[in-house]
Amino acid sequence: MRIFWLAGLAGTGKTSIAVTLCRMLQNDHKVLFGGAFFCSRTANVVELTDARCIIPTLAVAFAKRSPRFASALAAELNTDSDSAFKPISGQVISLLQQPLTLSSLPSSIVFVIDALDECSDVDDVRRLLRAIAALECDTMVKFILTSRPETHISTSPTMSSDLNSVLRLHTIGTEEVTEDIRMYISDAFAKSSLARPWCSTAEIKMLAVLSDGLFIFASTIISYVIKVQSVKGRQTRLRTVLSAVQDSKVAMGPLHAMYDFVLTRASDTAEIEPEELEMTLKVLACILAARIPLSVSALADLLGLETDEVQEALQRLHALVHVPEDADQPGLRTLHASFGDYLFARNRIPTSLGNETLARGCLRVMSQRLHFNVSQSRSSYDPNSTVKPSSITVSLEYACMQWVYHIADMAAPMILADEIDQQFCQQFLFWLEIMSVLGRISQAAAILSLATSTVSYIILFFLNAACSDISTGSGCGTFSILPRCTCFCRVLQ
């Protein structure tokens, strides 16, 4: 068996099983645990939705565990340093097959790839499945995959091969799954015990039945209930939840009922002003639209708010949104991808609200923070420092790197044309300096290319003017990176 595919509907516990398997494999002396890759939409990290990042990540992970493989991999990379940038089939050959053949490892090797369905390019997923199925070497290599039963995965010829095996979680008997969830809830409540008992065996069993096979539902309830540290408070929350969802029985119904319940409480007009509710929804929309996990303080800066304002806006949503305890620690995200789908499907949040809000915030932050010699260099002839200046905050770095993507994802990007003209174009060269300091100058052309296709006439007009000044020498001596700017117009033509 080369591939074991664990398929299941959203929230059925696939990731929990994958994490448990990783822990078991690390302690199993009969096999070598190669490594794991956890795909994720909710993490808002582009690499975690890119199937082309999986094989390079697994190769590096296994190299850290196996000196013999590490030596063989290093030899391969010395021969072909571009192996990680090859098509997926080439990655498998260069980063796994050939090093494994050279290292001649005696034990079986197991790799885990979780939530494969959350990769953004379905064609890349198909290529990955074909490539790992075709891997040939003397060492037995196995892959454990988890995903929703998406068509592009379930219909792949690779999955129907006799060499592979499939387990569909949603086909397991209801009684068995319900008992597993009951044990899970009971254990979680026991570990968070208070001075005296606060829930009954019957209530735990009722929660397990209402979960209807969805571990994410049970996890959401647990998070909501144990957030309160008093016996009475937990009892009140638990019984209110049981009352609110007792009629939900099908598919994602239980989880959606939980979302309804928490959002209804969060939007109670008797306890929250309309302006506060609007702020909460705007903050939530930005978390869903953010391209990387932000900290509370960075998001507040992008929104032009105080940190405590954002924290207060999210206070009622802690059961559904992960909020790091440290306001400066990145990690703001929803607990499950289905929450965003639920909000957009029910029009609780306009689909473009987050992107438009962040786009405006990025432009505003750049307008306020970009200035001459933002890199704090003593001379334009000195190389960029390896230490990022304190003036380049997380929010400014995010704004410089991500502004164009939020504009491109807006429903009507041209409404920001004047703001781009007023806030970005006037400080275009300062933005280039930031990109250079961040070591991302090579990405600047791609960002500008996307900008010209979105709000073309403004960006292209200013870019041509700026590069013209540089090419004639009028801009020389301002920044050490400016002579490189002439390439951008050629890229965009």
Q: Which tokens belong to 60?
A: 């590096």
| Cα–Cα distance measured from residue 308 to residue 327, given in angstroms and rounded to the nearest whole number | 9
**Top-confidence residue, 475 or 140:** 140
Q: What is the pLDDT of residue 252?
A: 56
Q: Are 100 and 137 in contact (CB under 8 A)?
A: yes
Sign of the CA dihedral with 301 first, then 305, 309, and 315 last: negative
Lowest pLDDT segment from 30-39, 41-50, 286-295: 41-50
Residue 47: Cβ-neighbour burial (10 angstroms; 0-12, 13-18, 19+): middle
Q: Are 164 and 5 in contact (CB under 8 A)?
A: yes
CATH code of 3-171, in short, is: 3.40.50.300
Q: What is the pLDDT of residue 381?
A: 67
**Top-confidence residue, 491 or 188:** 188
Residue with token string 């991808």 = 337
Judged by DSSP in three states, 229 sits in: coil
Q: Predicted confidence band at 466 (pLDDT cuts at 50, 70, 90)? A: low
Q: Same fold for the domain at 3-171 and the one at 274-345?
A: no
Residue 402 CB contacts under 8 Å (≥ 6 apart), including other chains? 291, 292, 358, 362
pLDDT at residue 469 is higher than 70: no
Q: What is the pLDDT of residue 191?
A: 87
Q: Predicted confidence band at 470 (pLDDT cuts at 50, 70, 90)? A: very low
Task: Go through the chain and tell me how many residues it has.
Answer: 493
Sign of the CA dihedral with 351 first, then 353, 354, and 358 last: positive
pLDDT at residue 128 is higher than 70: yes
Burial call 427-464: b when 16+ CB within 10 Å, e when fewer: bbbbbbbbbbbbeebeebbebbeebbebbeebbbebbe
Q: Which tokens belong to 391?
A: 């003036």
Q: What is the pLDDT of residue 250?
A: 38
Q: Predicted confidence band at 426 (pLDDT cuts at 50, 70, 90)? A: confident
pLDDT, mean of residues 322-336: 85
Q: Predicted confidence band at 487 (pLDDT cuts at 50, 70, 90)? A: very low
Reported pTM: 0.66
Q: What is the pLDDT of residue 385?
A: 60
Of 259, 222, 261, residue with least CA distance to 238: 222
pLDDT, mean of residues 112-137: 91
Q: Which tokens belong to 368?
A: 């306020």
Lowest pLDDT segment from 363-367, 417-421, 476-480: 476-480
pLDDT at residue 490 is higher than 50: no
Q: Predicted confidence band at 162 (pLDDT cuts at 50, 70, 90)? A: low
**Top-confidence residue, 123 or 150:** 123
Q: What is the pLDDT of residue 358?
A: 96
pLDDT, mean of residues 189-194: 85
Q: What is the pLDDT of residue 72?
A: 93
Query: CA-based angle 39:87:96, to the nearest 5?
Result: 75
| pLDDT tens sequence across 360-394 | 999 999 999 888 887 777 766 666 665 567 778 99
| Cα–Cα distance measured from residue 245 to residue 239, given in angstroms and rounded to the nearest whole number | 10
CATH code of 274-345, in short, is: 1.10.10
Lowest pLDDT segment from 27-36, 136-145, 224-233, 416-425: 416-425
Domain ranges across the chain:
3-171, 174-266, 274-345, 359-492
pLDDT at residue 274 is higher than 60: yes
Burial call 190-220: b when 16+ CB within 10 Å, e when fewer: eeeeeeeebbeeebbbbbbebbbbbbbbbbb
Q: Which amino acid is at 272?
A: I
| pLDDT tens sequence across 256-267 | 777 887 788 777
Q: Which tokens belong to 126?
A: 């198909």
| Cα–Cα distance measured from residue 43 to residue 331, given in angstroms and rounded to the nearest whole number | 8
Residue 225 CB contacts under 8 Å (≥ 6 apart), including other chains? 189, 234, 237, 238, 241
Q: Which tokens belong to 211?
A: 């979960």
Residue 411: Cβ-neighbour burial (10 angstroms; 0-12, 13-18, 19+): exposed
Work out whether strand 3-7 and strand 333-334 pair parallel, antiparallel, or are unpaired: unpaired
Q: Which tokens belong to 448?
A: 């500008």
Mean pLDDT, rounded, of the chain: 82
Q: What is the pLDDT of residue 193?
A: 77
pLDDT at residue 327 is higher than 90: yes
Q: Which amino acid is at 408?
A: A
What's the number of CA atoms in the CB half-sphere (13 Å) around residue 272? Answer: 19
